[in-house]
């Protein structure tokens, strides 16, 4: 079971959601030093991220973002802070539409 699960519905459609997810991945790589791998699909995309004690994935569809993350020992001590930051990032992302 993932340490962090985040789910956000949206009405962006897949092309716009894809764009936002790719930008989120770029910022995560920049700010937190994680490695990101993005796979586009017909009905959904998958962004895998790993590094600095965090491994996870972001599933992107036309109507939702679903994030799951596993935290390493050290990162787990900051779970609440990491989860709050992720929630704020996705709230901001969807507010921009």
Mean pLDDT of the chain: 94
Give yes or no for residue 74 having a pLDDT over 80. Answer: yes
pTM: 0.92
- The predicted-structure confidence for 4-13, as pLDDT tens digits, reads as follows 999 999 999 9
N-to-C CA span, the chain:
30
Residue 17, exposed/middle/buried by CB under 10 A (0-12, 13-18, 19+)? buried
Number of domains in the chain: 1
CATH of the domain at 66: 3.30.160
Give yes or no for residue 97 having a pLDDT over 80. Answer: no
> Which domain, by its residues, includes 18?
4-96
- The predicted-structure confidence for 32-52, as pLDDT tens digits, reads as follows 889 999 999 999 999 999 998
């Amino acid at each position: 079971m993932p340490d962090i699960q985040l789910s956000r519905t949206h009405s962006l459609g897949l092309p716009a959601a894809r764009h936002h997810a790719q930008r989120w991945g770029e910022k995560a790589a920049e700010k937190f030093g994680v490695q990101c791998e993005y796979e586009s699909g017909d009905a959904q995309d998958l962004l895998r991220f790993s590094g600095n004690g965090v491994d996870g994935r972001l599933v992107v569809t036309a109507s939702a973002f679903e994030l799951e993350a596993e935290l390493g020992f050290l990162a787990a001590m900051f779970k609440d802070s990491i989860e709050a930051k992720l929630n704020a990032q996705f709230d901001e992302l969807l507010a921009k539409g």
